[in-house]
């Protein structure tokens, strides 16, 4: 894709690679996890070389995802601190859904919805990682009660995360120009001014 020199850089190559590693790991974990969630999904284990290999790979993929997610969260958490303007944005989110986003409060690099999603993912990741460790009996033998509780929390956390990721993907597709940012790292000035006017002003110095 030919880059317009007037476009704004939203993500550098390292940030995009970090995001895609987390995303790919999540897809693989969702597929392998579903394979053990219900017998109807067990054929998904063939994607990983069969049941035994799926059971072996699933927790290791989880560790990889968590490590890269920690790096990503460390990069972006300050940009996702909830501010008063984010609360106002959330109160007026129906306007955006109705296509009247010009009346929405001015936002920085991330809007209120994106920030809520970020912290929701953080909570979900913690639940999945901690419960997954308790269930990983290849390395230790926790009490049966702890394993049962961890299994329940892991399932709840997985449903929580899958729901949030579906929302994330839907929002990215619905807001045209968003996916381009994570593919190529840039967005047009028009896109930035319409959806993240505060960030646009910061990047360009434009006060209009």
Please list the active-site residues: 168
Q: What residue spans of the chain are helical by DSSP H?
A: 13-37, 51-76, 84-91, 93-97, 112-135, 144-174, 178-184, 189-195, 197-204
Classify each residue of 130-146 as buried b or exposed e, where b means 16 or more C-beta atoms within 10 Å of its C-beta: ebbbbbbeeeeeeeeee
Q: What is the DSSP string of 32-89?
A: HHHHHH-GGGGGGGGGGTSHHHHHHHHHHHHHHHHHHHHHHHHHHTGGG---HHHHHH
Cα distances (Å, whole numbers) of residue 105 to 70, 124, 187, 194: 30, 28, 20, 11
Query: CB burial class (10 A; 0-12, 13-18, 19+) of residue 174?
Result: exposed
């Amino acid at each position: 894709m030919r880059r317009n020199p007037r476009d704004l850089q939203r993500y550098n190559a390292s940030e995009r690679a970090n995001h895609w590693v987390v995303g790919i790991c999540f897809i693989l974990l969702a597929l392998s996890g579903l394979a053990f969630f219900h017998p109807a999904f067990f054929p998904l284990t063939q994607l990983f070389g069969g049941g035994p290999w799926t059971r072996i790979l699933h927790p290791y993929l989880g560790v990889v995802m968590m490590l890269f997610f920690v790096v990503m969260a460390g990069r972006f958490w300050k940009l996702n601190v909830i501010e008063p303007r984010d609360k106002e944005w959330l109160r007026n989110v129906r306007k955006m859904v109705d296509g009247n986003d010009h009346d929405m409060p001015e936002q920085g690099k991330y809007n209120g919805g994106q920030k809520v999603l970020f912290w929701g993912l953080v909570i979900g990741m913690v639940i999945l990682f901690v419960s997954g460790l308790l269930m990983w009996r290849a390395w230790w033998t926790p009490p049966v009660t702890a394993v049962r509780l961890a299994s329940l929390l892991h399932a709840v956390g997985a449903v929580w995360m899958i729901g949030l990721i579906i929302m994330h993907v839907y929002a990215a597709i619905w807001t045209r120009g968003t996916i381009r940012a994570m593919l190529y790292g840039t967005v047009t000035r028009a896109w930035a001014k319409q959806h993240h006017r505060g960030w646009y002003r910061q990047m360009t110095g434009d006060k209009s």
